[in-house]
Chains A and B, each alone.
Chain A
Amino acid sequence: MSATDVVTAFFEAYRNHDTERMVDLCDLGADFSYVPFEAWGRQRVVRGDGKVCTIGKTIWTTLIDSFPNLTNEVTWMTADDDGNVAVEVVISGTQAKTFGAIGNQGLHYDLPHVFLFHVNEDDRIDDITAYWDGADWNRQLGRIEVD
């Protein structure tokens, strides 16, 4: 299985809302970073950084719960011989529940994302980093405050 096959399977599992499969495609200790994910409190900032099996699975499950028709379309992918894979993917969904600070107005979004993966020699993803424009996402979902 090539690194791009593993990543393709990951997004297929995501489209099927199969978070168990998404996690199974990852190494047990896989690192996870959703860069734009920041929750600013008075004392500290909570970021979307940690491990796939804890932070990652929790975020995916919560997203699918809040956007029950969540889907994705991979638009571009490249990879090297060392297991690095970069993906441009459009993620879409219609909000049905509050997600974090984004109240539910029943709005739909289509948002370009970049995912960077590293796939190890056992064909397991051991690193996921994702980027998107949170301002565009908030705007599409009807939220205009920058907290």
Chain B
Amino acid sequence: MTVQERARTFISRRGRQEPVDEQAVARAFFERMEAGDVGGALALTTPGGDFQAVAVGMKGTLGSEGHEFLQELRRALPDLAMTVTRLFVGHDGTAVAEVFLDGTQGDDLFDIVNQEKHVDVKTVWFLHVAGGRIDGIRAYWCQNQLYRRLGVKRLDRVTITA
């Protein structure tokens, strides 16, 4: 068994080496996020794994920057819906998910002042799964679309909306 093949297995409670269902892990992550269970979503991850939210320039670990990002998303968009519209798993164990984010702003989000506007943005997430846990997340979306939906007028004045 190669290293890559081994990474796509996990040791079950019965002590058996069994294949990981990366799609199920990815779906569980988004379901827990949508339910507002940030802790539950993070419980599926490895705290020292890499995290990157490209559009807001956040880069670090899942346990630190990832935690901060997911908390901010849930806090600022309390009715957040995360609809997975496409999901496949590459040979390297990366779950590739297109996710439609939909919610109403209830607090400032990434320095964007809350105007209680509705936001709907298509996003794409790469969740690398190894040994049954997510050990890497990279998320992409268009921040310009987010600004447009939330009433930001100028890129040099994100905190000013008029």
Contact = CB atoms under 8 A, between A and B. Distances in A.
Interface stretch (B32-40, B60-68, B71-79, B149-157): B149-157
A63 interface: no
A80 B88 CA distance: 7
- In the complex, which range does the number of interface residues on chain A fall in? 20 to 34
Contact of A36 (B90, B138, B145): B145
Given A84-B88, A116-B98, A144-B155, A138 B54 contact: no
23 contacts: A36-B145, A38-B145, A78-B90, A78-B92, A79-B90, A86-B90, A86-B126, A114-B140, A116-B124, A131-B123, A133-B55, A133-B144, A134-B143, A134-B144, A135-B55, A135-B142, A137-B144, A138-B144, A138-B155, A143-B155, A144-B154, A144-B155, A147-B148
B27 interface: no
B96 A78 contact: yes
A35 B124 CA distance: 10
Interface in B106-162: 122-124, 126, 138, 140-145, 147-148, 152-156
B91 A135 contact: no
Contacts of A112: 54, 140
A78 B152 CA distance: 35
Interface of B: 54-55, 86, 88-92, 94, 96, 98, 122-124, 126, 138, 140-145, 147-148, 152-156
A86 B141 CA distance: 15
Nearest to B92: A78
B88 A38 contact: no
A131 B155 contact: no
Contacts of B155: 135, 138-139, 143-146
A136 B54 CA distance: 10
Which among A78, A79, A116 has the greatest number of chain B C-beta atoms within 10 A? A78
A86 B92 CA distance: 11
Interface in A46-104: 78-80, 82, 84, 86, 88
**Residue among B94, B140, B147 having the largest count of chain A Cβ atoms under 10 Å:** B140
Contact of B122 (A35, A134, A137): A35
A78 to B, nearest CB: 3
B89 to A, nearest CB: 6
